[in-house]
């Protein structure tokens, strides 16, 4: 995809990977809009990157997604790139009875339903632009699950599958469909669970990830598996034992 002169909406862009992508896209000469649930995080992001445009939106809520679409194209008719980045990760322990249905439903709605519905809402406007893209942020865990976050991994596997089909369906349109497949990146994502697992390796820095991801997008790599995510994608279940090495608790 072209890397300049786009108008880009990044869901969950106030922190972590989304914020790092936003910063690099701004530096490259793009207009960048971010959304998220926490107004204070959006304000902090804007303070660091004053050119950012921010919008409070909970992508797990259908009405919010519809309002986001109306607001975004109403104010930014040149919007041509949607980055489905917002995501949450929860521990779910079937073996310990740690399962809260509302939390699981929220995880699925945020990680899977939202990118599917936002794609559906945005497609007619995106395909009408001279050049446009949908970029879905999945995970290396789409290919090799981390067993203590089974719902998260399932949503990311499903998002990968959805992205393949969407790319196929839009192949004769002006809209390119990309998938960014991150490795472990040092962000807020489920930091509590990482601490509990005594995961000392905090992973790649978000900016390093963003630079590699944008380089891949610029080269037209449709499925960009970054860092160790490339291994997780290639070797799949072979690496299951390696990443789930703690005894079942």
Ligand X SMILES: NC(=O)c1ccc[n+]([C@@H]2O[C@H](COP(=O)([O-])OP(=O)(O)OC[C@H]3O[C@@H](n4cnc5c(N)ncnc54)[C@H](OP(=O)(O)O)[C@@H]3O)[C@@H](O)[C@H]2O)c1
- Give the residue numbers marked as catalytic: 152
- 145 belongs to the binding site for ligand X (CB under 6 A): no
220 CB-near residues (< 8 Å, 6+ apart): 1, 176
Within 22-41, which residues bind ligand X (CB under 6 A)?
A: 35-38, 41
What are residue 229's phi and psi, to 5 degrees?
-60, -30
- 62 belongs to the binding site for ligand X (CB under 6 A): no
- 86 belongs to the binding site for ligand X (CB under 6 A): yes
Q: CA 48, CA 64: separation in Å to the nearest integer?
A: 26
191 Cα distance to chain centroid: 17
Q: Which of 63, 71, 81, 108 is nearest to 18 (CA)?
A: 81
In this structure, what token pair is assigned to residue 69? Answer: 């679409």
Stretch that binds ligand X, among 56-64, 66-74, 168-176, 238-246 (CB under 6 A): 56-64
- 58/129 with CB nearer ligand X: 58
Q: CA 197, CA 138: separation in Å to the nearest integer?
A: 22
Least separation in angstroms between residue 221's CB and ligand X is: 17
How many C-beta atoms surround the C-beta of residue 247 within 10 A? 5
Least separation in angstroms between residue 172's CB and ligand X is: 28
- 18 belongs to the binding site for ligand X (CB under 6 A): yes
Q: Which of 188, 138, 194 is nearest to 15 (CA)?
A: 188
- 148 belongs to the binding site for ligand X (CB under 6 A): no
Stretch that binds ligand X, among 8-16, 95-103, 118-126, 143-151 (CB under 6 A): 8-16
Size of the site for ligand X (CB under 6 A): 30
Among 32, 157, 185, 216, binds ligand X (CB under 6 A): 185
Alpha-helix residue ranges (DSSP H) falling in 111-219: 114-127, 150-169, 191-196, 206-218
Site track 198-217 with ligand X (rule: CB under 6 A), x = hit: -----x--------------
Among 68, 126, 133, 184, binds ligand X (CB under 6 A): 184
74 Cα distance to chain centroid: 24
- Residues within the interface to ligand X (CB under 6 A): 11-12, 14-18, 35-38, 41, 57-60, 85-88, 110, 137, 139, 182, 184-185, 187-189, 203
């Amino acid at each position: 995809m072209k890397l300049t002169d786009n108008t880009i909406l990044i869901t969950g862009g106030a922190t972590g990977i989304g914020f790092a992508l936003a910063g690099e896209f701004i530096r490259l000469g793009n207009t960048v809009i971010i959304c998220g649930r926490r107004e204070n995080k959006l304000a902090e992001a804007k303070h660091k990157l004053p050119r950012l445009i921010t919008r409070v939106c909970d992508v797990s809520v259908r009405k919010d997604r519809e309002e986001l679409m109306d607001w975004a194209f109403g104010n930014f008719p040149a919007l041509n790139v949607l980055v489905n980045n917002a995501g949450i990760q929860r521990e779910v322990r079937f073996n310990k009875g740690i399962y809260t249905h509302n939390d699981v439903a929220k995880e699925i709605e945020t990680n899977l339903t939202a990118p599917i519905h936002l794609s559906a809402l945005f497609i007619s406007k995106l395909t009408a632009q001279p050049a446009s893209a949908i970029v879905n942020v999945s995970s290396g865990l789409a290919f090799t699950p981390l067993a203590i976050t089974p719902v998260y991994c399932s949503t990311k596997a499903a998002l990968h599958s959805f992205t393949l089909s969407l790319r196929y369906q839009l192949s004769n349109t002006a809209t390119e469909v990309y998938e960014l497949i991150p490795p472990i990146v040092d962000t807020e994502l489920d930091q509590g669970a990482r601490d509990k697992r005594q995961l000392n390796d905090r992973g790649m820095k978000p900016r390093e990830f963003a630079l590699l991801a944008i380089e891949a997008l610029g080269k037209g790599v449709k499925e960009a598996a970054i860092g160790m995510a490339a291994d997780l994608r290639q070797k799949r279940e072979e690496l299951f034992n390696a990443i789930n090495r703690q005894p079942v608790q």
